[in-house]
Amino acid sequence: MKQKLNAKDFILIGVLTALMWIICMIISTIMSVAGPVTNVFYPSVVAIPNGIVMMLLLAKVPKKGVFTICAAIQAILFLLVGAFWFIPIGLVIGGVICDFLVMGRKEITMKSMMASYALFSAIFAFSAICPIKFLQSAFVGAMEKNNIAQEYIDGMLNITSVPMLVVIVAAGLVGGLIGGLIGQKALKKHFIKAGLVSVK
């Protein structure tokens, strides 16, 4: 199992990451337009269709480094389209952690794939939402300068409060689990049946 990644694996990662990236962009755009409340939950929704793609990727290339590379590529893209630097850093850290979780063992299993994907999705949710918390002081400062009423500022502090963040991260975790579950179902129904991949 401990083989080095080769050019073919890199290309597969590139192709599938392109697909995941597009799905992520479409969903996050729709959810941002739909409203700010749905916006903060986009990482958990994105995790569902991407679960299918990620499960296929992990099953097809069961080697160390897949998660990290995939996360690093997405991080670079996030950087290019204007994400706060917290997302790229969070993604890469998440990728490295998950790589050790799944690939640290000898053989990849359905369970370890699912667990690491859910964790990855939770870390993604955390890093996508955390900046709001981070920027709280900047926001408050700006609002005070703009003579916005105190109750507004309190309200804003509320929706970026710690319990809210926990909810969002938990949603990310759940989204990852659902995505992983659906992904593995699709894997069994299609790709394993067609003899394209095999997973223990």
Where does this chain bind another protein (CB under 8 A)? 5-8, 10-19, 21-22, 32, 35-37, 39, 48-49, 52-53, 56, 60, 65, 69-70, 72-73, 76-77, 79-85, 131-132, 135, 138-139, 141-143, 145-148, 151-152, 155-156, 159-160, 182, 186, 189-191, 193-196
User: Residue with structure tokens 């900047």?
Assistant: 138
CB of 101 to another protein, least distance (A): 19
Q: Which amino acid makes up residue 100?
A: F
Nearer to another protein, 52 or 114 (CB): 52
Residue 59: which residues within 8 A CB-CB, separation 6 or more?
A: 108, 113, 187, 191, 192, 197, 198, 199
Structure token digits, residue 24: 């992520």
CB of 55 to another protein, least distance (A): 10
CB of 137 to another protein, least distance (A): 9
Nearer to another protein, 14 or 104 (CB): 14
Structure token digits, residue 64: 């160390």
CB of 35 to another protein, least distance (A): 8
**Which string of DSSP letters, residue by residue, matches 26-60?**
HHHHHHHHH-HHHHTTHHHHHHHHHHHHHHHHHHH
In angstroms, the CA 154 to CA 158 distance is 6
Nearer to another protein, 106 or 195 (CB): 195
